[in-house]
Amino acid sequence: MILYCDTSALIKLYLQEEASTAMLEHAAQAGMLAVCRIAWAEAMAGMARRARETPADAETLQAARQRLREHWPRYAVVELTQALVELAGDYADAFALRGYDSVQLAAARTLQIAAQEPVRFACFDARLRKAASVLGMTPIPA
């Protein structure tokens, strides 16, 4: 099973947040973790913002950024292509999604079509989970 993580799910693998324990369990059960190339920028930006807003967390966030750097080569990375962003545009309209949410969904769908095994979609947005389900992916949290 491939576990595709949007950025909200990916962050939970590196920072203790609500549902982090469950995400770590799902990740441990997956044969492969997959992300979209944009998750790097989104994750780093989110951690940098949190460090600015909560300076007491700066050391923890620096360690989280370092672990993400170390783990990134292990992830299956779905690249941004013109076809993927066009599909994302279609999904933004069809499912009433925000821009990067539609890109995450299009990346997961592209992976699902190419993969020879089931793809589970990890995200923490109800609308995005519903869209993934409509497209035949099993969203988590369920």
| Per-residue model confidence (pLDDT) at position 142 | 61
Tell me the sheet residues that pair with 122.
Answer: 5, 140
Q: Which domains does the chain have, with CATH numbers?
A: 2-140 (3.40.50.1010)
Ramachandran angles phi, psi of 125, nearest 5°:
-125, 125
The Cα 108–Cα 115 span in angstroms is 10
Residue stretches of the chain with pLDDT short of 50? none
Q: In terms of C-beta density within 10 A (0-12 exposed, 13-18 middle, 19 or more buried), how is residue 28 classed?
A: exposed
Distance CA 36, CA 96 (A): 20
Q: Give pLDDT, residue 8.
A: 96
Residue 34: predicted pLDDT: 98
